Structure 1
Amino acid sequence: MTHDTVRGNPGRPVALLLPGQGSQHVRMAAGLAGAEPVFDRAMGEALAALGESGAGLRSAWLHEDRPSVIDHVTHSQPLLFALDYALGKLVLSWGVRPVALLGHSIGEVAAAVLAGVFTLADAAAMVHDRVGRLAAAPPGGMVAVAASPQEVAPFLGDGVVVGAVNAPRQTVLAGPDGPLRAAADALRGAGFIARPVAATTAFHSPVLAPALRGAAEAIAALPVAAPRIPVVSGYTGRRLSLQEAAEPDFWARQPMAPVMFWPALEFLLAEDLLLIEAGPGQGLAQLARRHPAVRSGRSAVLALLPPGPGPGDADRAAVRAAAAVLGRPVAV
C-alpha cells in the first residue's frame, strides 16, 4: 500500500470502513440531502442505477419512519449500498486518497465500485439481482453475541451458524427464525449477552443457498477491472486480487459466506492508519476502537455520521467535524 497523508492527520494514511446490514436506520444521512452537493449527486446516481426501484427507495430513505420497512432486505441492502458509495465519494471529493477500503457485507460491493472494480451501473445490477433473490428466502435473522466463536460453538446447529466475526468477543449468529430464537435464548440462559441485529434475512448463512442459485451466472456477464484502490476483503481477510474479483462465485457467495471483519481489520492495521467509517452509524468505528493499534494510539478512528437516528442538523454537524479533522472545512 502506498501512503497518502492529509492535513490534520500528519503521518497517518487513511482507510475507509464501509458498513453493511445492521447499520441501517430510518433517515440515515438524510440530513445531507439537499445540503451537500457531492453527496446528493452520488446518491442520485446510485439510486438511478438501481432502476425502477430507485424512486421508491429514495422516498423510503427520506420519509419512512418504520424500522421494519428499512430493515427489510428490499430496502436495507440497496440503500446501504447507495449510502456507502455516496459517502465514500464525499470523502474522496475532499482530496483524501485512501490506501485501502474495507467493507462489511454489502459494504464490500460499495468498496468495489469506489475502487473501480465494477462500474456503478454494473454493481447496482448485481445488488438489484441479489436483493430480488434474497427477498424470496425463508424468514431469518441475525443475533450479535458477546462471545468468541469457540464459546458459541455448542449453541450452533439446526441452520444456525456463525455469520460474522466482528471482534474477539463479538460474534454474530445467523439462521432461520425459530432455531435462531432458540439459540439466542439458550445463550442468554448460559449467561451470554445476545442482541438481535436489524435484519429479516439470515445473511451470511448457508440457508440462503437455494435463493442464490444462478447468481454467479448473472455476475459473470459483468466486466471487472483491477482495483485502483486496494480493497481488503471482509471475506478473506486479505487484499482483494484481480483473480478473486474476476471470479463470479466470489461475489455470488457473499450473502451466505461468513464475514471475517476482525481478521480483515487485523490485516489492515498492520500499519498505522486513520480509519474513517463512511456509512450510517458508528458500528465499525466502535469495533475498530477495540483493536490494540487504536487503543495504543498508533492508529485512530473517525466516524463520518452520528451513531444513530437524529435530526438532520446532527448529520451535517458530524460531517463538518469529520472534515475539520481532515483539514477540509465544508459548508453543509
Structure 2
Amino acid sequence: MHSPHQSLQRPKWYLLPLTGTSTTELQQKSIVLTRYIQQYPHVSLGEIAAHLGQEETGNVFRQAALINNTEELAHQLAADEIKNAAVQTPRTIFMFPGIGDHYLQMGRGLYETIPTFREIVDECDAALRPYLNQSLTELLYPPPTEPASEAAPAAGFDLAAMLGRKSSPSTDNEQEAKLQETAVAHPLVFSIEYALARLLQQWGIEPDGLIGYSLGEYVAATLAGVLTLKDALTLVARRAQLIQALPPGKMLAVPLSQDEVAPYLSEQVSLSAHNGDALTILAGEADAIQSVQQKLQNQQVACRLLDTTHAFHSHMMQGAVAELTKLAQTITYAAPQIPYLSNVTGEWMTAKQATDPTYWARHMCQPVQYFSMLRNLLGQAQNYHLIEVGPGQSLGAFAKQHPQCKPEQYALIYPTLRYSYDQQDDHWFLLTTIRKLWLSGVNLQWETVLSNGSDLDPAKLEPPLQFTSPQDNASSHQAMQQKDRGAKRRQNRLHRRGNSR
C-alpha cells in the first residue's frame, strides 16, 4: 500500500519530560541531565526520552524540553520556567474543523513518523477506496519536490503563500485542485482529524466534550460512539459525492450579526453559518451572492467571497436530502458516550437527536450554529483546554472572539496541525501543544507518546542515567537506619518509664 517515499521514518523531534516533588529536586535533575548529555553527546535522544518517560511519576513540578539535538537541551532547560501542575486541570474539549484549511501534504510529518497515526489513516484509506477509486494517501502525499529540512522550525510563515501570491508548478496546482473537489476533500479531512483524535487519546488525552464544525460533527459523532468508523466513512463519502453532483454555488463571509444580515436573505440566499457576534456566512446561487456582495460593499461593509465549490449548509443542498436520508436509514446509531454539541441546534446533542437518521439531512441544509455552540460551552463558568484537532486555527480564533470567552481562556486554546503557509515541522508543531498541555497539568501516557521503535527502549540507555548517585542512595539508607534506631530507643525509654510506675 505504501510507495517508497512514504516509508516510516525515525522522528526528528523528541519531548523530554522532567518532574520533581519540589523546585529544588527538579533543578537538581535538570543539572544531572545536562551534565549527562554533555558527557555522552552521542547517546540516542530516543533512549533518553524513553528513560525520562519511564521516570515520570506525575509529580506536580514539571519541565519539558522539545529538541532534535543534544546541544539544545542545556539551553532549553536553563531558559524554561518550572511549572507547578498542582492546580486543578481544566476539562478538555476536542474541536473538529470543517473543510477550507486543508492542503497538500497536510500532516505528512505525522504520517511518516508516528505509526498509530499512519495506521488509522491507512485504515480510512482502505475503506474509502470503493468511493474514491484511488488512494487517499497518494492524493495527499505525492513525492515532495524538495527534501524536508531537519533544521529547527524557526522559519515561521511563508508570507507569499499566506497572502496567496506564491506561484507553484503546474503539477502542484493540479494536485491541490484535486484536493479541493468536494468528493475528495470531505473524506480526506475526516480521515486526518479522526486519526489525530485517536492519536491524542492513545497519548492519554481524553476529551470531556466535543465540538464539530460542519463536516467536523461527523468526526465528533464517530469519536462519541454514535457512528462506527465504517458507517461514518460511508456517510461522509456518499454525502460528498451527492453534494459534488449538485449545481455549484458561492459563499460570502459578512461581518454582521445574525439579525443585521437577515434583510439580505431570500429564496436564493441562505444563512450558512453563524460564527461570531458579528460574523456570519451567506450561501446561495452565484449571481445572488455576488449581488449581496455588491450591496454590502456599496454600504462600506467589508465582505469576502470564500473559496468553495458549493453553497454548503443552504437551500442548495436540498437536492441531496432524499438520497442522504435513504442511506442514513440503513445505519444503526448509538447514544453519545462523550457529550458533543449539535451544529443544527447549538445545544448539547441528545440521544434522541443522535439516533435520528433524518438528522444528517437537516445538518447538511441548515446553518452551522457555532456561535450558539460556543455560548453553551463557555457559558458554564469554567475554563477548558480547547484543542483544535485538525488543520488551522479558525475554530480557536472564533472562540477567542466570543463575548463569553474570558482572557484567562485564551492561553488554553491549542492547535494541532499547522496552516499550509506555516513552514514548521508537523511533528514539532504537535509536540509543542502536547508539551503545553502536560506542563499545565494534563497527564500523559508517556510510553505511547515516546514509542516509535526499538531505539526507544529505556533499558538500552548506556551508560545508565541516574538522578541519584550510589553514594546518595547509601547516605539515604543510613539516614533511614538511624531514624529507625532513634525511634526504637524512644520506645524503649517510654516502656521502662511505664514499668517503673
TM-score (norm 2): 0.62
1:20/1:105 contact within 8 Å kept: yes
Q: Which amino acid aligns with 2:428?
A: A
SS in 2 for 1:309: coil
- Segment drifting more, 108-117 vs 249-258: 249-258
Change in Cα spacing, 1:185 to 1:68, as seen in structure 2 (3 Å) is farther
1:49/1:120 contact within 8 Å kept: no
Q: Which amino acid aligns with 1:221?
A: T
Alignment partner of 2:336 out of 195, 215, 227 = 227
- CA shift at 1:27, angstroms? 2.4
Q: Does 1:74 align with 2:183?
A: yes
Which position in structure 2 is the counterpart of 1:3? none
CA distance in 2, matches of 1:174, 1:98: 32
- CA shift at 1:226, angstroms? 1.4
CA distance in 1, matches of 2:320, 2:335: 29
Which position in structure 1 is the counterpart of 2:123? 45
Q: Does 1:18 align with 2:96?
A: yes
Alignment partner of 2:140 out of 47, 61, 79 = 61
- 1:275-290 to structure 2, matched below 5 A, reads 275-290=386-401
2:344/2:362 contact within 8 Å kept: no
Which position in structure 2 is the counterpart of 1:306? 418
Alignment partner of 1:246 out of 355, 367, 374 = 355
CA distance in 1, matches of 2:421, 2:135: 20
CA distance in 1, matches of 2:341, 2:322: 26
Which position in structure 2 is the counterpart of 1:325? 436
Please tell me whether Structure 1 or Structure 2 has the larger radius of gyration of its CA atoms.
2
Which position in structure 1 is the counterpart of 2:485? none
- Listed as ranges, the gaps of 5+ residues in structure 1 are 1-5
Q: Which amino acid aligns with 2:138?
A: S
CA distance in 2, matches of 1:54, 1:13: 41
CA distance in 1, matches of 2:103, 2:279: 21
- 1:199-278 to structure 2, matched below 5 A, reads 199-269=308-378, 270=380, 271-278=382-389
- Segment drifting more, 44-53 vs 105-114: 44-53
- Listed as ranges, the gaps of 5+ residues in structure 2 are 1-59, 63-84, 143-170, 439-443, 453-501
Change in Cα spacing, 1:34 to 1:116, as seen in structure 2 (3 Å) is same
Deviations 1:241-271 (A, max 9, x none): 1211111110122221110001001111223
TM-score (norm 1): 0.91
2:277/2:402 contact within 8 Å kept: no
CA distance in 2, matches of 1:310, 1:33: 18
1:21/1:106 contact within 8 Å kept: yes
CA distance in 1, matches of 2:392, 2:338: 24
Alignment partner of 2:202 out of 88, 93, 107 = 93
- CA shift at 1:56, angstroms? 3.5
SS in 2 for 1:65: helix
2:375/2:404 contact within 8 Å kept: no
- CA shift at 1:298, angstroms? 4.4
Which position in structure 1 is the counterpart of 2:112? 34
SS in 2 for 1:268: helix
Deviations 1:93-135 (A, max 9, x none): 1111211010000100011111111110011111122112111
SS in 2 for 1:202: coil
- 1:187-198 to structure 2, matched below 5 A, reads 187-198=296-307
Change in Cα spacing, 1:26 to 1:192, as seen in structure 2 (3 Å) is farther
SS in 1 for 2:250: strand
Question: Number of matched residues?
Answer: 326
Change in Cα spacing, 1:258 to 1:267, as seen in structure 2 (3 Å) is same
